[in-house]
Each structure stands twice: as C-alpha cells, then as structure tokens.
C-alpha cells in the first residue's frame, strides 16, 4: 500500500515531486496534503489534476502524513523536520540541512536512527549507476568537478530568487555543487576540504565564483564554478581519472580514442528526471516503512554541508 506523503513548500521542487508522485510513483506514495503560505502556490496547486489539497497549516500536513517532504527554503528545514520526527513521522528533506553548521550537527546527532533522509537525486540516477558499473576495476586517481551558469539563479528558478540569489541561504554552491559533492562522497569516500576561495559581489548577493581543492577517500578532487562563464543556463561535468564523466546531470560518458562516447541509454535530464524521481519516491516509501533504501543519509548530507560552508566561508590560512 502506498505511504501518505505530505509536502511543505510548493515551489519548484515541491511541485516536481508532487507531479512525479501523481504521474510516475502512485504505487509507492499518495500525496496527502500540501502547505505553503504563498497565494501563488495555492493557485499552482489548484491547476494540478488530482493533486492533494492545500491544508491550512504545516501542523495539519504533518498530522495527515506518514512521511513529510520538506521543500521550503533552508531556514525552515530543521524546525519542520524536528516537528515531524516528534510526531512519529518519517522525514524527507531538501538540502541543505541548514546554512548554520552548529544546529545541523546537533540535529543529525539527535536524529540518529530516525527515519530521515535528504533529497540528493543522484542516489537514484541511472547515469550514476552506469558510472559505478564503469568504475569497477578502475583505480581512482583524480576527480574534477566543473559547474557553470549563464546567470544565477537559473532561468527556471527566478520565482525563488528572493532567497536563492542571496548569500544567507542561496548560491550555486549550496544548490548545485552539493549534488556533485554527494556523488563524490558516494563514489570515493569521506570528504576533506584542503583549500577554497569564493568570490562575492557587493551587498548580500550569492557567490559568483568558487575554486576548491579537497580529497574524497584520499583521492584528489578539484572544483571550480562560476556565473557568466557559459551561454547555457546550466552546464556541469564530473570527471573521474579524465576517463569517465557525468555531463549536464544525466549523460554518462567515457573516453574512447579521444572521443567522449555516451552510454547507450543516455537521456537528457528533462527526460531522465521522471525515472530518477520515481526511484527516489520508491526509496522514500521503503525508508518510511523502516526498510533498506539508498537515499542520502543525514550523515552524508551533513558531510556535504560541511564542505559547502567551508567553501563559502574558508578559514584564514597562515601567512607564508
């Protein structure tokens, strides 16, 4: 029987997951209720055929669900997660856990053993599964992560620019780079930040460029990202040993005779996304029932957050 999924926050991610639940994962989850204080969100929800009702409070959504999906801006993640766990519900969180590391660490420590996970969709990506298969027998020697944007936020995120464009909660390092750090952690092992630089505009705007050097399971990792560095809305590559790569979220490729060749079943991200979200929701149902799953754990999400916040607020280096 499908589990009841409550949704708090009906922005881009909340709507995506709701539509995925309705269109692709009905055997795993049934949306039971939504809450968002925005009138625009209520209007969008009303336009979704068969959607769950907009309830009058976060408390009502929690009371009526088996698992709460938290897709609100980052400052609300931990308060809502605590409320849901206290009510005996499972929790599926958007990243980051928080933007302040101290409460995130305290939450993860206090939630040990809880039915809780974080939405890093690469956990259910067929392209990532292909990379794991190709990696078998390969000795990891290096990883290079590159992300680039024509503008920030991206075109489809402009409705959320009030916080995504701001330094306090937004920025592409939290929003995009975190996914590739999760992939690196899953693929290679624990992350350690060695050096980082971030460039910010005047005022309270989010970062416009980053560079970082880190390790994952002892393997060297380089990271770079910037805004205004590509004509594309969003361009990214994750490359292992200069031989295997994930490009633009969904294309698994390997180098053969100097040419990058795609996996036979490669699809653009907009076509792969429904498959990925179906996999995520299947795992959410398993997590809610206390069964094994492959979703990102709270500990993994915290480790990624530690690196992200370290990049955005690098510790001073000694002179010389």
- Which pTM value belongs to this model? 0.95
Q: How many helices (H) and strands (E) does the chain have?
A: 11, 13
Torsion over CA: 2, 270, 254, 138 (sign): negative
Tell me the domain boundaries of the chain: 3-121+274-297, 123-267+305-312
**Measured between alpha carbons, how far apart are the two ends of the chain, in Å?**
63
Phi, then psi, of 165 in degrees rounded to 5: -85, 0
Beta carbons of 287 and 293 less than 8 angstroms apart: yes
Beta carbons of 184 and 308 less than 8 angstroms apart: no
pLDDT digits (tens, 9 = 90+) for 135-169: 998 999 999 999 999 999 999 999 899 999 999 99
Residues lower than pLDDT 50 in the chain? 317-320
State residue 319's pLDDT score.
Answer: 47
* 280 Cβ contact partners less than 8 Å away, ≥ 6 residues apart: 17, 20, 119, 121, 123, 124, 295
* CA–CA gap between residue 315 and residue 162 (Å, rounded): 28
Place of tokens 């206290």: 86
**Which CATH fold topology does 3-121+274-297 show?**
Rossmann fold (3.40.50)
Phi, then psi, of 287 in degrees rounded to 5: -60, -45
**Which CATH fold topology does 123-267+305-312 show?**
Dihydrodipicolinate Reductase; domain 2 (3.30.360)
């Amino acid at each position: 029987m499908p589990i009841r999924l409550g949704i708090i926050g009906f922005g881009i991610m909340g709507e995506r997951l709701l539509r995925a639940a309705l269109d692709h994962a009905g055997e795993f989850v049934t949306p039971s209720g939504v809450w968002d204080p925005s009138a625009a969100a209520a209007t969008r929800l009303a336009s979704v055929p068969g959607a769950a009702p907009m309830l009058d409070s976060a408390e009502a959504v929690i009371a009526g669900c088996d698992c709460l999906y938290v897709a609100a801006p980052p400052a609300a993640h931990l308060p809502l997660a605590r409320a849901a766990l206290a009510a005996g519900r499972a929790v599926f969180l958007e990243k980051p856990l928080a933007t302040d590391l101290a409460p995130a660490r305290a939450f993860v420590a206090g939630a040990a053993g809880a039915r809780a996970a974080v939405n890093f969709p690469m956990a259910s990506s067929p392209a990532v599964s292909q990379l794991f298969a190709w990696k078998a027998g390969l000795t990891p020697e290096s990883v290079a992560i590159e992300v680039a944007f024509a503008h920030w936020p991206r075109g489809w995120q402009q409705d959320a620019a009030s916080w995504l464009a701001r330094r306090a909660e937004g920025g592409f390092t939290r929003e995009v780079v975190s996914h590739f750090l999760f992939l690196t952690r899953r693929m290679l092992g624990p992350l350690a930040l060695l050096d980082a630089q971030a460039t910010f505009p005047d005022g309270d705007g989010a970062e416009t460029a980053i560079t970082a050097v880190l390790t994952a399971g002892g393997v060297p990792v380089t990271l770079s990202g910037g805004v205004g560095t590509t004509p594309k809305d969003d361009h990214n590559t994750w490359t292992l040993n200069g031989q295997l790569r994930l490009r633009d979220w969904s294309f698994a490729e390997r180098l053969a005779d100097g040419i990058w060749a795609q996996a036979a079943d490669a699809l653009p991200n907009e076509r792969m996304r429904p498959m990925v979200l179906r996999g995520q929701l299947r795992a959410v149902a398993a997590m809610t029932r206390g069964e094994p799953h492959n979703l990102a754990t709270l500990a993994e999400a915290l480790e990624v957050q530690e690196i992200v916040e370290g990049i955005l607020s690098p510790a001073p280096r000694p002179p010389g």
